[in-house]
Chains A and B, each alone.
Chain A
Amino acid sequence: DADVTQTPRNRITKTGKRIMLECSQTKGHDRMYWYRQDPGLGLRLIYYSFDVKDINKGEISDGYSVSRQAQAKFSLSLESAIPNQTALYFCATSDGTRYEQYFGPGTRLTVT
């Protein structure tokens, strides 16, 4: 089984709808991250969390919110989706002593 899972893998939604992307991990890592990937722009950090009570904004947090329900679960919400939030979203994890991050398979989100 994959160490970092994301659901759903693909989602099409309409402008103005609320949507939640979920991430679960079995690696036992404390740190979790949400990125979005756009063609030609690489990965940009949306939010990150060092533990259940520690959540931090990344470089592009506007229009997004997160919830760290448990050490293993980190959800990303779009309260009112807009077309320019169409992107590939990745969840990643890392442990408390290392910098390398481990990525989930991604969620492709389309907002029409």
Chain B
Amino acid sequence: AQSVTQPDIHITVSEGASLELRCNYSYGATPYLFWYVQSPGQGLQLLLKYFSGDTLVQGIKGFEAEFKRSQSSFNLRKPSVHWSDAAEYFCAVGGGSNYKLTFGKGTLLTVNP
């Protein structure tokens, strides 16, 4: 069975600081990996995805993520956080013929001025 662990429930950073959100997955084959962001009162928006190829993927809003197969990780990074990045972030894994995604429990990001 596939699963996702986001070890950090809540992270607080200062505006302008760098950010790394952790995601570890469990999947028996090559995974398809995603990061979504949910702003307050909004639905989930796709930030970036990894299917194959280059293990460093770029997304929207200046985010990037690196797939590390040896560590079963897909961590999300941003070099300089803006106040508007305050939101909840979800990592998800999928694969196989059922086209289902399994989501982590989310990491809430607070940005201090």
Contact = CB atoms under 8 A, between A and B. Distances in A.
Contacts of B44: 43, 90, 92, 103
Interface string A3-44: 010000000000000000000000000010000000011111
A42 B34 contact: no
Contact of B32 (A40, A99, A104): A99
Given A42-B90, A105-B42, A100 B105 contact: no
A100 B43 contact: no
A41 B105 contact: yes
B100 A48 contact: yes
Contacts, number: 46
Contacts of A42: 90, 103-106
A102 B9 CA distance: 24
Contacts of B99: 31, 50, 94, 99
A52 to B, nearest CB: 16
Contacts of B43: 4, 90, 103-106
A74 to B, nearest CB: 15
Contacts of A55: none
Given A42-B90, A43-B90, A102 B46 contact: yes
A99 B36 CA distance: 13
Contacts of A31: 99
A40 B34 contact: no
Contacts of B105: 40-42
A45 B42 CA distance: 18
Contacts of B42: 105-106
A101 interface: yes
Q: Return the 3 tightest CB-CB contacts between A and B, nearest first.
A: A42-B105, A103-B43, A99-B94
Given A48-B100, A99-B101, 19 more contacts: A4-B43, A40-B105, A42-B104, A42-B105, A43-B44, A43-B103, A44-B103, A92-B44, A94-B99, A99-B34, A99-B51, A100-B46, A100-B49, A103-B36, A103-B43, A103-B45, A104-B43, A105-B43, A106-B42
